[in-house]
Structure 1
Amino acid sequence: MASMPTIKLVLLVCYVSLLCLASSSSPDLSGISKPSSSQKVSLGLYYESLCPYCSSFIVNHLTKLFEDDLISIVDLHLSPWGNTKLRSDNDTVVCQHGAYECFLDTVEACAIDVWPELSDHFPFIYCVESLVIEHKYKKWETCYEKLNLNSKHVSDCLSSGHGKELQLQYAAETSALEPPHKYVPWVVVDGQPLYEDYENFISYICKAYKGNKLPGACAKYSSIRSVKVNRFPLVCRNGVYTMWDLLERIKTSLLSFVTGLL
């Protein structure tokens, strides 16, 4: 029986495919008003591939953008860099969750570059991050087959050094954030960070939208208010390796080792 992430991946691919068909349809749809790019709400996600909270947000929350046509009013931008550091030589990259995170961040950067349409790169990133949640991220290449994608484009990006160039671009972009990011996932709506209320991002999108045709999804979130909950924040902090970070890294390493033996 198919796992829940696999079922969600199939549904996601079907939905974004329908979006593509709708966007290229005949003039019969010309009477339907669509938000202009200036009316759309910008949504930025600054993340790193092996932060468990980033993976959870992408797989369990960000996919809500594709419900009730909410994506029609959103410009989504993904930035796979997060808390990664550049050493003083501006060439050596150090990732918070180890070298494999650096590699997967570059893979996802290449995917965004070679498949610039959201409907093409988001299902791939969703697939990879689903494997992160399952602690099977070293099997990320299976996402090519699952999505019927040609692996050559991403492989060329990685081997040519273009992936490294993309890394540096995302580094500069993340470094330029105002206010500076403190942790990931760092979610920004129309230039304003949501801080620890990032899971409530849809209500912020609906409030920020200035167009005249709200998607049905906004009705569900119109009454939602930000509520501060006294809990350990579900974030990977910038430059801080807490005991929680250490335990997560140990757990990830152990599960990867066990998976490799199976």
Structure 2
Amino acid sequence: MDTDMTAVEKVNVKIYYETLCPYCINFFVYYLQPEIVSLHKYLNIRLYPYGNAETKEEGDHYEITCQHGESECYGNKLHACAIDIIKNVTKSTLYNCCLMGNQSDDNAATECGVQMKIDADPIKECAKSDKGNQLLKDYGEKSMYVGYPGVPFILVDGKTSSADVFKKDICEAFIEPPPPCKT
């Protein structure tokens, strides 16, 4: 059988976070980014940029309040819009890792876009629009059902993980660990 046709075993990783949380920033920059670079073809990654925010609804109107203020809500929207606009999950995750290391603001969106050859303008426009608000609200609804105690909240194949054992947990989730797990 041609090895290119062989199904690749994948591990599911879900990360619930907020953009200005120091622990989340540390996780994205020092733990997630290196693992995405080495293990991306073996992972099904889902990011949930909402964190400890709160959505209050009154009729058709809703308001989202973020733990670290309005700039965090905007950063969360940038992340949500990047996920929506950049269809390649690996690329959008690496873009969001770059944002996390650079304040998750418009300047970061532009700079990370230049570095990664991604047009940041549609992402910034989305974050400033009703679509950005709706995406963030949707992530809030998805996050609400998980009931995590704090962020970052990391699930590897449905089991809770943490930054210090992230790679170990990923590698142990495989039936046949891929080559990056053997280094």
Query: Which TM class, normalised by the smaller chain length?
Result: 0.7 to 0.9
The corresponding residue for 1:143 is 112
Among 100, 125, 132, which residue is 1:163 paired with? 132
Change (3 A) 1:130 1:159: closer
Query: How is 1:77-226 mapped onto 2 (pairs within 5 angstroms)?
Result: 77-89=46-58, 91-132=62-103, 137=105, 139-140=107-108, 141-177=110-146, 180-194=147-161, 197-210=162-175, 212=176, 214-220=177-183
Higher radius of gyration, 1 or 2: 1
Among 47, 68, 73, which residue is 2:42 paired with? 73
Q: Give TM-score scaled by structure 1 length.
A: 0.62
Q: Deviations over 1:232-257 (max 9, x none)?
A: xxxxxxxxxxxxxxxxxxxxxxxxxx
| Secondary structure at 2:137 match in 1 | helix
Q: Deviations over 1:105-145 (max 9, x none)?
A: 0011000000021232123212211113xxx8563232222
Report which structure shows greater RCO (CA 8 Å, sep ≥6): 2
The number of equivalent residue pairs is 180
Unaligned 5+ segments in structure 2 are: none
| Secondary structure at 1:187 match in 2 | strand
The residue identity in structure 2 corresponding to 1:77 is: R
The residue identity in structure 2 corresponding to 1:120 is: K
Please give the alpha-carbon distance, in whole angstroms, between the structure 2 residues aligned to 1:34 and 1:200.
29
Please give the alpha-carbon distance, in whole angstroms, between the structure 2 residues aligned to 1:218 and 1:31.
20
Q: Aligned pair 1:46/2:49, yes or no?
A: no
Q: Aligned pair 1:64/2:34, yes or no?
A: yes
Q: Deviations over 1:70-94 (max 9, x none)?
A: 2222111111001111125371111
Maintained 8 Å contact 1:41/1:189 = yes
Maintained 8 Å contact 1:35/1:72 = no
Please give the alpha-carbon distance, in whole angstroms, between the structure 1 residues aligned to 2:36 and 2:49.
21
Please give the alpha-carbon distance, in whole angstroms, between the structure 2 residues aligned to 1:72 and 1:143.
22
Unaligned 5+ segments in structure 1 are: 1-29, 221-262
Whose strand fraction is larger, Structure 1's or Structure 2's? 2
Off by >6 Å, runs of 4+ in structure 1: none
Query: How is 1:16-35 mapped onto 2 (pairs within 5 angstroms)?
Result: 30-32=2-4, 34-35=6-7
| Secondary structure at 1:182 match in 2 | coil
Please give the alpha-carbon distance, in whole angstroms, between the structure 1 residues aligned to 2:13 and 2:136.
20
Across the aligned residues of Structure 1 and Structure 2, the Cα RMSD in angstroms comes to: 2.3
Please give the alpha-carbon distance, in whole angstroms, between the structure 1 residues aligned to 2:152 and 2:128.
28
Q: Percent identity?
A: 26
